[in-house]
Amino acid sequence: MYNVIQLLIKYGAHILFVVLEIICFTLIVNKNDTQQAIFLNSSNVLAGKLEAQRSTLLEYSNLKNLNDSLLRENATLIENLISIEYSNELIPGSDTVLAQYSLIPTKIINSTINQRNNHFTLNKGSREGLYPGMGVIASHIGLIGIIRNTSDNFAHVISLLNSQTRISCTVKNRTGHGTLVWENADPLRMTLISIPKHEQIEVGDTVITSGYSTMFPRGILVGKIESIKVPPGSNSYAITVKLFNDLTSVKYAYVIQNRFAAEQIKLENEVGHE
Amino acid sequence: MNKYIVPNLLRILILFLVQILVFKQITFTLDNKIFVHFLIYPLAILQLPIKTPRMVLLLVAFILGIGLDVFYDSLGIHAAALVLTAYIRGIIIAMIEPYEGYNVNDVPTIRNFGIGWFVYYLSLALIIHIFVYFSIEAFSFVYFFEIMLNSIFSFIVSFIVIMLSQLIFRPKF
């Protein structure tokens, strides 16, 4: 007991200081709203920092899922763009046209660009609804090619940069249509042939898909006209088109699913056989 | 010793009233971010006689602080800061002890120790008090930069006001 009293005498001021500060802080935390909020918050700041660290660490593993969802979102947006193009230009108010095209997002897993006949491989196949003859685009701006062959899980695409490529194209706000081919070895330029030379066409015009096939809807932007020539003795232009998209760096692609393709091809074949 | 009780009580009361009636009203903000407070009440603790028992210092500080908090609607903040200031006052006084030491009844004033010593004493104690005050008010060192700015500007204005009062009234006790 004596010791306790002696201790109190010796350290009384310090003890009193601690006691008074404890009283003060108890009052501060209990009676003041802001400090109470901050008291709870400060721990949250720490927790929040930890959470942020954790999420940055785990972000990389989520990137794949994130990419997939973005791809799906993009597919829907491009579908809408195509639908708008059609609802403006073709049959107003037709529901079937709006639903004609849908897009399947895919990833390009293999590509060549430096050969005379270039190819792509996509990471989805017939299991996902991909079939030979479907068009492949990079986005609303830019074609990629046409599916030539599919397996269960992969699809083989003939690139635009291929000597076999023939895509029906037209010039925006002009009449007449021609065929887009790849003649020179430049991966950024293609040639639009067989537009009759009486058509009015100028350098700088935009080349779009014509929609005269089951592969691509009308209005996918392809490129800009860079130069126009008329080969001697020919009745049509040879137009150099600079592509909007760079096929050497493309990583994702959308396959265009045309719900009425089979119907159209069947009908056209019947007419052909007669 | 008794002759110090009345003037000190008076000084505490006057500083208390001046703080809540005058300086509480002229708190202002700079740039909508920096809060500038005039905190002159620490002078009441700082000018108690040097040999005042620590217990008394702490209790006076606590009561004065709580009294201010009632008017500032910030229960505990002024008290906590002021109790801490009272606690470290002894350390500061010991740190800057003049060559000839202190007399039993010395009061820390300009008259007794000269202006250099007083400025040293006042600025040390005041900056610590104001920094602690803003720290407790923010209650989180996440706002360290804001606390520093608030402290610096508040210290400057408070210091000027206290020094002026000292030079004008030149208190004996």
Number of domains in chain B: 1
CA distance B105 to B8: 13
Give CA angle at A102 (A192, A167), nearest 5°. 15
Question: Which of A13, A35, A42 faces B142 most closely, judged by CB atoms?
Answer: A42
Task: Name the minimum distance, in Å, from the CA of B122 to any CA of chain A.
Answer: 21
CATH number for the domain whose boundaries are A66-273: 2.40.10.340
Question: Which residue of chain B comes nearest to A26, CA vs CA?
Answer: B76
Give CA angle at A163 (A158, A164), nearest 5°. 55
Q: DSSP alpha helices (H): ranges in chain B?
A: 5-18, 42-46, 54-72, 77-95, 110-113, 115-138, 144-169
CA distance B132 to B138: 10
pLDDT digits (tens, 9 = 90+) for A217-250: 888 888 999 999 888 888 888 899 999 888 888 8
> Containing domain of residue B90, as a range?
2-169
Question: Which of B58, B77, B139 faces A38 most closely, judged by CB atoms?
Answer: B139
**How many pairs of residues across A and B have Cβ atoms under 8 Å apart?**
69
Mean per-residue pLDDT, B106-122: 86
Q: Is B94 on the interface with A (CB under 8 A)?
A: no
Cβ-Cβ contacts under 8 Å, B83 against chain A:
17, 20-21, 24
The answer, yes or no, to whether residue A271 has pLDDT greater than 70, is yes
User: Domain locations in chain A?
Assistant: 66-273
pLDDT digits (tens, 9 = 90+) for B10-37: 989 999 888 888 888 887 777 777 788 8
CA distance A165 to B115: 95
**Mean pLDDT score of chain A:** 81
Cβ-Cβ contacts under 8 Å, B93 against chain A:
none
pLDDT digits (tens, 9 = 90+) for A163-196: 888 899 988 888 888 999 888 778 888 999 888 8
Q: Is B25 on the interface with A (CB under 8 A)?
A: no
CA distance A248 to A159: 11
Task: Name the minimum distance, in Å, from the CA of B112 to any CA of chain A.
Answer: 27
Query: Could you give the ipTM of this predicted complex?
Result: 0.81
8 A C-beta contact, residue B111 and residue A62 = no
Question: Which of A27, A32, A38 faces B140 most closely, judged by CB atoms?
Answer: A38
pLDDT digits (tens, 9 = 90+) for B81-103: 999 999 998 898 888 887 777 77
